[in-house]
Amino acid sequence: MNDRTYNVVIVGYGGMGSYHCKLIEPVQQISVIGIYDIIDYRMELGMADGYKAYPSLDAVLADDLVDVIVIATPNDVHKEIAIKALQAGKHVICEKPVTITSTDFLDIVEVAEKENRVFTVHQNRRWDEDFRIIQKIIEGRTMGELFHLESRVQGANGIPGDWRQLKNYGGGMLLDWGVHLLDQLLLITDSQIESVAATLSYILGTEVDDGFTTYITFKDGLTALIEVGTTNYVKLPRWYLKGTEGTAVIRDWDLSGEIITRNRNVPHIEPKPIQAGQGLTKTMAPPSEESTLKFAIERPELESQSFYENFVSAIEGKSELAIKNKEVHRVLVLIETIFEAAATKSVIQRSI
């Protein structure tokens, strides 16, 4: 049994940097020994939390006791820090979005391969319960063949923080939350993207987008509407799925929702017309209770490996990385295409 412990230093001890310490704490074989941040009070916070505060990034990279660097800085310096850390012989975990451009990401991957170090991106929302429920519904063909998907996160608190409102730092909601929703989307289907249309929101008057909407068509016919908003005082459902045999909805993080499917054991029953405004409609009437089945949303089983358990296993050659570099690159290419579609106000026909 391998009982080696891998020592971690967190570079960037803000909200996400300190959160990584909590994620690492319950995992055997990996331990946070120190932090580094360019802001003095965060260094003081790190020391108060019991970690060694390194005087510089060079000091971190020169320490032979350090095995792993976790990068939780603003987005614009991810590439520089990652390459330096890899060249210093460290394994690297980088917060999302890993880079602002897809070509910058490929530069990091090239160095990681050359140095034979493990490099991965913290796409932590692959472990979210709502997403894993959706995966199970789709894989189990609970609603028949999926043909349309809507995925949203919405709030009314504007763009959080400071640097996230600045373009040079890689701010904006497409790079912040969009990278999560698009990563989840691309895991749902094996099909390639056929076309992308998009609009970005600048309601708050910042130099970066405060939200976006993108409509994506896949070559297998699946369509997807992905939306992020920070000016929504009433939220739309987190997930809305349409299949050939039913519909599913998850309304929010509390996992409230349901799945309604056609009852295959009952012959087709004509719906009864309903009063709709100043007229009658049969088309928009709900199906009869006899012809449908309703299922509650069930919480999924725990994943076999957490992000950090998988990372240690990958270092030791026991497992593949859960977050593969080719998947990360595909998301970045899609983000670039969304920016292009919004800027040109056109539908981009592109195989991704």
The domain spans of the chain are: 6-122, 126-256+297-303+333-349
According to the model, what pLDDT value does residue 178 have? 98
Mean pLDDT for 331-351 is 98
Instruction: Give per-residue pLDDT as tens, 110-161.
Output: 999 999 999 999 999 999 999 999 999 999 999 999 999 999 999 999 998 7
- Write down the mean pLDDT value for the chain: 95
Whether 97 shows a pLDDT value over 90: the answer reads: yes
Per-residue pLDDT at 344 exceeds 90: yes
Model pLDDT, residue 289: 80
Name the nearest CA neighbour of 347 among 218, 216, 226.
Answer: 216
Average pLDDT score over residue span 178-190: 97
CATH code for the part of the protein at 126-256+297-303+333-349: 3.30.360.10
Q: What is the pLDDT of residues 284-293, one digit of tens each?
A: 888 888 889 9
For residues 6-20, give the mean pLDDT.
96
Burial of residue 78, with CB atoms counted within 10 A of its CB: 0-12 exposed, 13-18 middle, 19 or more buried? buried
Percentage of the chain exceeding pLDDT 90: 88
What's the pLDDT score for residue 170? 92
- pLDDT at residue 166 tops 80: yes
Q: What is the pLDDT of residue 2?
A: 61
pTM (2 d.p.): 0.95
Give the CATH superfamily of 6-122: NAD(P)-binding Rossmann-like Domain (3.40.50.720)
At 282, the pLDDT band (50, 70, 90 cuts) reads: confident
Q: Is residue 1 scored above 60 in pLDDT?
A: no
Is residue 257's pLDDT more than 80?
yes
Reported as a single tens digit per residue, the pLDDT across 32-86 is 999 999 999 999 999 999 999 999 999 999 999 999 999 999 999 999 999 999 9
Q: What is the pLDDT of residue 303?
A: 81
147 with 244: CB under 8 angstroms? yes
% of the chain beyond a pLDDT of 70: 99
